[in-house]
A and B are shown apart, each in its own frame.
Chain A
Amino acid sequence: MRRRPRRAGWFYAQLAFTVLVAAFLVVPVVMSITAGLTVNFFQGVKSGLTLRWIGEVWRLYRETIVLSLTIALACLAVDLAVGVPAAYVLAKARSRWTRLIEEALVLPIAVPGLATALALILAYGTWREFRTSWVFILVGHVLFTLPFMVRAVLAVLSSIDLRTLEEGAASLGAGFRARFFGVVLPNCRSGILAGALMVVTLSVGEFNMTWMLHTPLTKTLPVGLADSYASMRLEIGSAYTLVFFFMIIPLLIGIQWAGRK
């Protein structure tokens, strides 16, 4: 009888701690959301709720939103076209060299984005058409996200008996194309899906490299966000965050859905 209250006390202490941590994390989110929806943040919610700031964001930063989506999807397309076959080749030819390549592939993640951006500018900055086009940013994003796609697909390919599956298909008369599209790809779909989600989220949210690579005409969403925090009302910056969420969440759900078919 004496031990139970003590256990309950310990339980409430844990609960309180958990709630505190959760609140610490949730409060900024709530603040940011309300900031984006209130008429005047400094007067608080009593000043009234409005969608005006969201409209303002759309008017001022529509291009950055469209560009971010374009770059993210283009980045995904390139990563799928390059990363999946690359993972396949690495999985098939397991040797010391492929290990080395696999390791080298993660370097763009370890190297600060700013350094990658600087290298790109040093090498291609004088090529004006390229430097000023959004493809310049795309290249940076592909460099940064490709390892994630390769790794995700490679992990799945290494867990299935790829060689025997392919031999089985070949014994039944399937040539390389039929094997690759009919057996290999469907069986690494979970890896492709995981990679795709990663690539799109990383590309849409990428700031530090993009900040170096962008021009006034090729601003992406996070760059625009920094811009709005720096130069606009706080409400617009917060509304911008809301827009970001509304954009990224359906996109991620869409990719999940496409992956499951």
Chain B
Amino acid sequence: MTGIRLERCGKTFDDGTRAVAPLDLEIAAGETIVFLGPSGCGKTTTLRMIAGLEAPDPGGRVLFDDTDVTLVPIERRNVGMVFQSYALFPNMSVAENVAYGLRVRRVDAEARAVRLEEMLAMMKIGELRHRPVDQLSGGQKQRVALARALAVRPRVLLLDEPLTALDAKLRDVLRIEIDALLRRLGVTTVYVTHDQAEAMALGDRIVVMSHGAVEQVGRPREIYFTPANRFVAEFVGTMNRLRGRARDGHLEVAGGRIPWRSATAGDVEVLFRPERARVVEAGAGGLAGRVLTSFFLGDRTRLVVEGVSDAPLIVEAGAGQQFRVGEPVHVAIDPDALLTLAR
């Protein structure tokens, strides 16, 4: 297993745009790390630097274990890569695609056949072996792409938005499968996505990026519960915002007041997750507001409540409760859940 180290890896394109500000990052052997961020945040460029498809700006170094591979082209880095568009070869069948890496490495025919069978079985695509790749569904293409990348026993597996082109249901199924696969193989994996649910589910650690810079690196729970800044808080999951005035141990907002434990006084802005607030009976200490809309989600009901603060709040309630638009409600917020974050 191979660890990866990025040292001062930045990328400025020929036209002068800076895609990635110099960053340092250590990825442990066997770890699955997810680069998460909106499009254009530099996550794919960072992945491409690890792959060897982009060279970092002078001064940056990429190390696999302790070997400097900065100048090693991708074809000699021994990486496995899955592209968003899969990049399967249209002139080859499924089996030929999967065995391609072994063929260019001049693995002998017998060993090649054995490995091919292993891969087809592992990805459950044995019956597709003779199919041309343009006759495969999106999910099948994804499996072939994974089998092809893994067939060469890569030192690191690199996945660039592998599920983005699939529909929601298939995405869930494949996400679970990929997760199980990565745990079983224990291969060092770098996964790029803009989908925070994928990042949460797959990542041992998540690197949140925006505008070419790393905003936070941490385990999924850290990213979710203790976001380092407002960008991370708002990009990962849903965040509510309360604006009010803090004084005498209370935070006063339009809908009432709640206990305030921070020493900060005056005008403040705090954030909290929807699941840290509940709808309570009147008089139970909740903040008063009115239902703007409510969505029944099957397992729960999501309410949009206005009047508590300047912006509407999103609050969750049990599936059994029903609400009318305009109905007055009271929202109790867990005081521990309030976050004060810098922009």
Contact = CB atoms under 8 A, between A and B. Distances in A.
Contacts of B81: 167-168, 171
Nearest to A183: B89
B90 A173 contact: no
Given A171-B74, A171-B79, A187 B104 contact: no
B95 interface: no
Interface stretch (A2-10, A11-19, A174-182, A227-235): A174-182
Given A170-B73, A174-B75, A160 B90 contact: yes
A161 B105 CA distance: 24
Interface size class of B (residues with CB under 8 A): 20 to 34
A186 to B, nearest CB: 4
B83 A167 contact: yes
A111 interface: no
Interface in B50-91: 51, 53, 73-76, 78-81, 83, 85, 87-91
Contacts of B85: 161, 164
A27 interface: no
A164 B89 CA distance: 10
A164 B141 CA distance: 15
B152 A173 contact: yes
A164 B83 contact: yes
Contact of A172 (B90, B152, B158): B152
Contacts of A186: 89, 91
Contacts of B290: none
A171 to B, nearest CB: 4
A164 B73 CA distance: 16
Interface in A62-111: none
B35 interface: no
Contacts of B104: 169, 172-175, 178, 182
Contacts of A160: 90
Contacts of B74: 167, 170-171
Interface string A174-213: 1100100011001101000000000000000000000000
Nearest to B151: A172
A169 B101 CA distance: 8
Given A172-B148, A173-B105, A167 B91 contact: no
Contacts of B90: 160, 187
A168 B87 contact: yes
A168 B105 contact: no
A165 interface: yes
A126 to B, nearest CB: 47
Instruction: Decide if the interface of chain A is mainly helix, strand, loop or mixed.
Output: helix
Interface size class of A (residues with CB under 8 A): 10 to 19
B34 interface: no
A159 to B, nearest CB: 11
Given A171-B79, A174-B75, A165 B105 contact: no
Contacts of A183: 89, 91
B224 interface: no
A187 B92 CA distance: 10
A76 B12 CA distance: 43
Nearest to A167: B53
B100 A172 contact: yes
Contact of B91 (A161, A168, A174, A187): A187
B51 A169 contact: no
Interface in A135-174: 160-161, 164-165, 167-174
Contact of A161 (B78, B87, B152): B87
For A169, A170, A183, the residue with the greatest tally of chain B CB atoms inside 10 Å of its CB is A170
Contacts of A168: 81, 83, 87-89
A78 B105 CA distance: 32
B287 interface: no
B87 A164 contact: yes
Contacts of A174: 75, 100, 104
Contacts of B91: 183, 186-187, 189
Contact of B75 (A164, A175, A182, A189): A175
A156 B202 CA distance: 38
Given A170-B75, A189-B91, 20 more contacts: A161-B87, A164-B83, A165-B87, A167-B53, A167-B87, A168-B81, A168-B89, A170-B73, A171-B74, A171-B79, A171-B149, A171-B158, A172-B80, A172-B101, A172-B104, A172-B149, A173-B101, A175-B104, A178-B104, A183-B91
14 contacts: A164-B83, A164-B87, A165-B89, A167-B53, A168-B89, A170-B53, A171-B53, A172-B101, A172-B149, A172-B152, A173-B75, A173-B152, A175-B75, A186-B91
Interface of B: 51, 53, 73-76, 78-81, 83, 85, 87-91, 100-101, 104-105, 148-149, 152, 158
Give me the 6 closest cross-chain CB pairs, A-B, nearest first. Answer: A168-B87, A172-B101, A186-B91, A171-B81, A164-B87, A174-B104
Interface of A: 160-161, 164-165, 167-175, 178, 182-183, 186-187, 189
